[in-house]
Every structure is written in structure tokens, then in C-alpha cells.
Amino acid sequence: MNKVWPDARAALDGVVRDGMLLAIGGFGLCGIPESLILALRETGARGLTVASNNAGVDGWGLGLLLESRQIRRMISSYVGENAEFERQYLTGELEVEFCPQGTLAERMRAGGAGIPGFYTRTGIGTLVAEGKEHKIFDGVEYILERGIRADVALVKAWQGDRYGNLIYRKTAQNFNPLAATCAQLTIAEVEELAEPGELEMDAIHTPGIYVQRVVLNPTPEKRIEKRTTREA
């Protein structure tokens, strides 16, 4: 039951391959699995499809994988802080599936719950609805969205134990609990590692049954995505 691996590189060994689909937690630079993203870059895996709210920023987070040309396709809801993302998209180097933020969250949740698809009104009458099944319920039109079932999920938690139980801190919950459930194999990066029984049971956000590997990163580099200051 000890799911702890010595480091991020070891945790990714044997599970990363070209062309795989990854679900990665985080929102901007908040709650991103930094050491796992760096280790993923070191694997050299290419042709990756990544489902994540956004692609980080230039030079950090998933932006590093864009710079190394390892991501072929992004499933995202927001990409406005990454100039390299914009450049690759406009030149046709990167395939992008834009997905409304709530829909993306529900697609991950549905995948984790074993639900292959669901109907939503979000996107009706826009480019998001093109090519998707439309259905009328009670006189109202909906579109079909598919649940996301990834090969591997990379998530970031504040605390975790050796059984894989996870607690996220404040807004760093974002997409992490959803991504953790929707993959065949989930790897969690934690800042604090507890022994079994030490975590408050009612505070656990992701039960260990969803997590196969845990990596300790006690000194994460928490960069500020956009710093706003004022004169004293």
C-alpha cells in the first residue's frame, strides 16, 4: 500500500509514451504539478494530448512542453497568457479543442464517474456546438459532450499520505480533484507527506483508491502568473 516513489522522474518511468492523453490539474500557475511537468519534459515523449484548463505561461508549467514541441493537441478553456501557445495555434503547429470551463470540468468528472457523455446547453449556437449531436429535452436544445478518460493524470496536492489520500489547499483544488479521478493511472505531487491515519478523514478531497503513485515535493517553486502592484 505504500504508493510513494522516490522522485517525479521515477514515478513517470514506464507509464509515459508518445501520443498519450494526459489530464493535468491546475489553473494558470495555481496548483500545477511542477516537478511532474518538468519530469515529463525530460522523458521526451511527443505527440501528447493534454486536457487542462490552460497551458501555463511562457517558460513555466505546460508552457515548457509547448516550447519543447511535445504537445500536439490541447483540450483547454483558456489560453490567453501564453504567447507561444498562440503562435503555434495560428501557424497550425498545435491542434486546439476549446471547451467551456464548466464543460471541461464536467467532462473530467464524468470520465471519472464512468459516464461516457452528457448533454449541456453550454455552447448552443456557437462554434463549440459544431459537429456535435443535438437533442431536445422538454422543448430545450442541448448538445452532447463526451466524458474525458485519460491515460495518465498528473495532479498537485497540499497534503497526501502513503496510501494516496489527498488534500488540496484552497483555490489549488481547481481542476485537480477532477483530473485525479478521470485517468487509468494517477500520479500526485504533494508538498507534505503524512503517515496513514494522520490526515483528518473528513478533510480528504481525493480518496487513495484513485491514486496509484505519490511524489513528495516539499519546496515547490510557486511563481506568480501576473503580478499587479501599486505605488506606496
What DSSP letter does each residue of 112-159 carry, written as one string?
A: HTT--EEEESTTTTSGGGTTS-EEEETTEEEEEEEPP-EEEEEEEEEE
Give the pLDDT confidence score for residue 52 in this predicted structure: 97
Q: Domain range holding 41?
A: 4-116+148-216
pLDDT digits (tens, 9 = 90+) for 178-206: 999 999 999 999 999 999 999 999 999 99
Given a cut of 90, is residue 32 above it in pLDDT? Answer: yes
Give the pLDDT confidence score for residue 195 in this predicted structure: 95
Residue 125: what are its φ and ψ, rounded to 5°?
A: 80, 10
Give the pLDDT confidence score for residue 230 in this predicted structure: 87
Residue 208: what are its φ and ψ, rounded to 5°?
A: -60, -15
Whether 171 is covered by a domain: the verdict is yes
Whether 78 is covered by a domain: the verdict is yes
- Cell numbers linked to 3: 504508493
Q: The domain that contains 152 carries what CATH number?
A: 3.40.1080.10
Model confidence at 225, in pLDDT bands (50, 70, 90)? Answer: confident
pLDDT digits (tens, 9 = 90+) for 130-143: 999 999 999 999 99
Give the separation between CA 222 and CA 227, rounded to whole angstroms: 13
Whether 101 is covered by a domain: the verdict is yes
Domain count, the chain: 1
Whether 153 is covered by a domain: the verdict is yes
Give the pLDDT confidence score for residue 227 in this predicted structure: 81
Q: State mean pLDDT over 137-150.
A: 98
Q: Are 63 and 57 in contact (CB under 8 A)?
A: yes
Q: State mean pLDDT over 203-210.
A: 98
Whether 48 is covered by a domain: the verdict is yes
Model confidence at 91, in pLDDT bands (50, 70, 90)? Answer: very high
Give the pLDDT confidence score for residue 1 in this predicted structure: 81
Whether 11 is covered by a domain: the verdict is yes
Give the pLDDT confidence score for residue 54 in this predicted structure: 93
